[in-house]
Structure formats: structure tokens, C-alpha cells
Structure 1
Amino acid sequence: MPVPPSLLPLSTVVSRLRAAGCVFAEDEARLILSTARTPAELTSMLDRRVHGLPLEHVLGWAEFRGRRIIVDPGVFVPRRRTEFLVDQAVALARPGAVVVDLCCGSGALGAALAAELDGVELYASDIDPAAVRCARSNVAAAGGRVYEGDLYDPLPAELAGRVDVLLANVPYVPTREIALLPPEARLHEARVALDGGEDGLDVLRRVTAGAARWLAPGGRLLFETSERQADRAVATVAGDGLLPRTVTSDELYATVVIGTNARALP
């Protein structure tokens, strides 16, 4: 049960969070108070947040497309802007689609898509063992399977040529810019989930290079990138035989590239 508010007034929690620099102190205070089950847990959660742990790691969950996604310490926290990527996938996919979520992190993208489409056949993979453990909690609820390994390597071979939707929320921060990230990301999320190499596109190149082999006829690869990387990302997609297009959301400041397996189209 949530901690009774009388054990620690909302104003006290807000004051501590505000003093620690939390911009949305009142909202965070309410979430912490509603999640903590005992006074000791409340104290622990508040202390961890005050010392800089991301709120989602403190709570043990993140809200993504209106659902609670389990997020363990050290695991990449799904961003609200990435909901736009799922919007595009939902619009393109059909019931019963075969979906693969590469670099799945917590499994938020695949789990959200499976929750919004009937009969999805869902697979996910990540190279980070902590992410895989976390994703199994979220993806299993959607009837999916999670594999540990590097990109396509751990996926079942029989998926080749059958994937309708390939979600790849690849790391795309250039290595030299990691130090510029907010401390919550830089210090508390796995570097492998952030670092995209010298120009931020190293992992993406490896994904696009193998995409045509895994995609079904007309299947789509969807990934998020930054606005300034979009042109190079589109060129990479086209160079590996996929037909690219870009969609953006000004509201969410999100850029998504969609690559269609055009070589397999009639």
C-alpha cells in the first residue's frame, strides 16, 4: 500500500526535491509518495532521487504511451519523444505482424506496439545483460521473447525474411558528446545504450547493413535519430538497399527514419 501522506507531508518531500534541483518537484513528490510502500522505502527513494538517480530508476518504472514499463537501475529510460517512433510503427503494422525490437533496452517499444496491435509476434534483443533482464519482464507480458547478444546475432535464424516491423532505437550520441549529456543519463544509464561512435551512426550502419536480410517483402525498419544526423542516416539506409523517408514531430522534437525493403516489393 502507498505510504499514508501523514507520515511525511507532501510539502516536505517537495522541499527536499526542489533543494536538490528537481525542476518538477511537486510531480515527482506525488509519484514517490504514491509508489513507496513503507516509511523506510520512502526515505530510501527520496534519498536516491536527491543524490541524482533518475526518477524512473527510483520508482522502478517509467510511463511510456500511458503504460508503466519496468526500468531497473542502469537500464536506458525510454524517452517520451520515442513514443513518436511507436506511433509510426502502429500506423504501418498490421495485426499479427512479426516485430523485432533491436537495442531493446527495457523493451518499451516492442511491448507498447504489441499492446496496441492484435496478435503481434514479438522478438527483442540487447547486448546489455541488465537490459535483457529488465526487458524480459516487460516483453513477456506482451507474449514476446528477449535474446541477449549483439544486434541480429542472437535472433532465431527462421526469422530471416519474415520481419514486418524492425524497431531499432540505436544509440546515436557521438562519443565526444557523451560528456555533455545530463548527469542522469551520463552517470546512470549504460554507455552502450548512448554511445553511437564518432559520428553517432556506427550502430545504425550495422543495423541497416543487415536489415534487408531480415525484413519481409515490404517490411520496414524504423529508428530515431537527431535532426542534424537525419540526412546522413537517410543516405545510409538508401545505400543498403532500403527505400527511406523521414517523419518528424515538432511537438516531441523527434525525427524518425523509415526504411522499406523495396528490393522485395513487386
Structure 2
Amino acid sequence: MDQSPLDDLTARLRAAGCVFAEDEAALLAERADDAAHLEALVARRVAGEPLEHVLGYVDFHGLRVAVDPGVFVPRQRTTLLVDEAVALGRRAGPAVVVVDLCCGAGALGLATAVGLGGDTTVSLHASDVDPAAVACAARNVAAVGGTASAGDLLDPLPPGLRGRVDLLLANVPYVPTTEIALLPREARDHEAHVALDGGGDGLDVLRRVAAEAPAWLAPGGHLLTESGERQAAGAVAVLDRAGLVARVVRDDEIGATIVVGTLPAET
């Protein structure tokens, strides 16, 4: 695209409140098949739809991950959880069972499986209560031989996985119900609330996962979850009460906090 139309597009996006208007203009122009398609994409973005939904993908942990409209968009801060999962998975042995719970687009499971790669055989299972998310995740995780199932938390997992899960990636919703209205419009208006709402204190879903996790984890297996900074202590307490040994991992540079709970090898 010539520079002048691109400048006009940037101005429209900036007027709509897009902070990175110049970068977004270039991405939308690249994505469009023709002028009419570009106008349709820009109209969606100007109306407040997340850029990732408009483009149909997000670049996450070095991968291009498909993201369908309405599906939770993986946040860049969540790469910390993937990095920690890969580090732990490399110590687990040549064959690793990974579960991506509340999977959304399946980005965490996909990135973890790719990160392990090499000589590690990964069995990846993803689940989500939102059928739209499961359909999106199924396409993404198929690239590494993974599967995605619809259902409540651990319910749709194959029973044969009980006691065998090495890495349980549980990026559960953790926004307190009363704070959803304070989220950016892109999230509160265009992502499923079930992917955001963590209950009164933001820890309700984590409590449910933690209660079931010990029965699914292999001895020495790990539950990894993202947390708000002010919720980290509460998340640690939840995992400790479930019989997991919990610790907090932070990356201040990207504003990320995760909590890791490990099932003792001797239970």
C-alpha cells in the first residue's frame, strides 16, 4: 500500500483510540485481500473489536496462533507461564503429558509443546467450557498432535490421564466479578465473560481446579496458573491447602505473575 493511504488509515485508527495505530495500520493492510476487505477490517477495529480478532491471529511466544471472534486473546505476559512450563517439562523425562485447562485458543499448550520439542514426546490435551474456544483450540493444537474437548474444567479429560499429568496449565479466569466492568472495552465487550470472571475474589475457579489437581497430577507434577499480583498470596494459600507445594514466579519487566504448585513425589 502507498504511504498516503496508510497514513490516512493510521489517522483513523488513532482517532478511534488505538495506541499503536501505525503498527496496526500496517498489519491490517497486510491482512486485507483488497480495498473492500481492508475497509471491513478497519471498520471492525474502529468499532472496538480486538485487533487479534480482526486479524484472526495473535503472535504468541514466537508462534502465530489463530484466534476466532469471541475467544479469549492470549496475553503476552502469559509467555512467562509457558517459559516456566517448558523448563519444568524438560526435567520430567522423554515423555510429557500436558493439559491446557481453560485453554481458550490453546496457545499455552501449543507453545509449551513446541518449546519442549526436540527429543521430548508431548501428549497434549486441551479443554474449555466454551465450544467456540474449543473449536479454535482444536485447530491450533492439531499442529502438535494435540486434542481439544468441551466441558467443565477437568471433566472432559480421558480418565486414563488420572495420576499421569506432568504439566497442568490452568490459566483460569481470575478477574473479580465486580472488576470486569473496569476492564478495557476490547476484553469486556468481545471476550466471553466465562473466560474472565473469577468470582468474588478472583480465585473461585482456581479453588475448583486445585481441589481436583492432585488426583490428576503425576507424582512430582506441576500445576501452573497465572495470577494478579495482589492475588498471588491467596493463590499460594489455595494450592497449599490442596496439598501442593506452591511458589510464586514473577517477571516485572512484562508485568507477569504466576503461581506453581507441585505435587510431592511421595504422597
Q: Could you state the TM-score of these two structures normalised by the residue count of structure 1? A: 0.96
Match of 2:67 in 1: 71
| Partner of residue 219, structure 1 | 221
Mapped partners of 1:108, 1:71: distance in 2: 9
TM-fit CA distance, 1:96: 2.4
Match among 13, 18, 30 for residue 17 of structure 1: 13
The CA deviation at 1:104 is 0.2
The superposition leaves residues 64-102 of structure 1 with CA deviations (integer Å, 9 ceiling, x where unpaired) of 012111000000000000001001001110342100000
Q: Are residues 1:103 and 2:105 paired?
A: no
Partner of 2:211: 209
Cα distance in 2 between the residues matched to 1:146 and 1:96: 19
Equivalent-residue separation in structure 2 for 1:48 and 1:142 (angstroms): 32
Structure 1 stretches of 4+ moved >3 Å? none
Question: Match for 2:35 among 31, 36, 39?
Answer: 39
Who is 1:251 aligned against?
253
Residue of structure 1 in register with 2:266 after alignment: 265
Aligned residue for 1:141, secondary structure, equals helix
Give the drift of 1:7: 10
Aligned to 1:29: 25
Residue 259 of structure 1, CA deviation = 0.4
CA distance in 1, matches of 2:257, 2:11: 37
Q: Contact 1:164–1:216 at 8 Å: present in 2 too?
A: yes
**AA in 2 matched with 1:134:** C
For residue 9 of structure 1, report the CA deviation from its aligned partner. Answer: 1.9
Gapped runs of 5+ residues in structure 2?
none
Deviations 1:219-258 (A, max 9, x none): 0000000111111110110000001111100011111110
Match of 2:124 among 122, 132, 139: 122
After alignment, is 89-98 or 60-69 more displaced? 89-98
**In 2, Cα distance between equivalents of 1:114 and 1:227:** 27
Query: Could you say what the CA RMSD is over the residues aligned between the two structures, in angstroms?
Result: 1.2
In 1, Cα distance between equivalents of 2:231 and 2:17: 31
Match of 2:177 in 1: 175
Residue correspondences, number: 261
SS at match of 1:207: helix
Structure 1, gaps ≥5 residues long:
none
Return the offset for 1:141. 1.1
Whether contact under 8 Å (1:127, 1:148) holds in the other structure is yes
Distance 1:8 1:148, change over 3 A: farther
1:61 aligns to what? 57
Give the residue type in structure 1 aligned to 2:50. P
Distance 2:5 2:144 in 1: 38
Q: Shift of the alpha carbon at 1:6? A: 3.9
Aligned to 2:53, the other structure's residue is in SS state: helix
Q: Deviations over 1:170-205 (max 9, x none)?
A: 000000000000000000000000000011000000
- State TM-score, norm by structure 2: 0.96
Aligned partners of 2:124, 2:142: CA distance in 1, in Å?
9
- How far apart in 2 are the matches of 1:79 and 1:6? 32
Rounded Cα–Cα distance in structure 1 between residues aligned with 2:4 and 2:199: 46
Who is 2:142 aligned against?
Answer: 140
Q: d(CA) in 2 for partners of 1:125 and 1:210? A: 15
Question: Could you tell me whether the CA contact under 8 Å between 1:7 and 1:39 is conserved in 2?
Answer: no
State the partner residue of 2:79: 83
**What is the identity percentage for the equivalent residue pairs of Structure 1 and Structure 2?**
64
Q: Is the 8 A contact 1:205 1:236 kept in 2?
A: yes
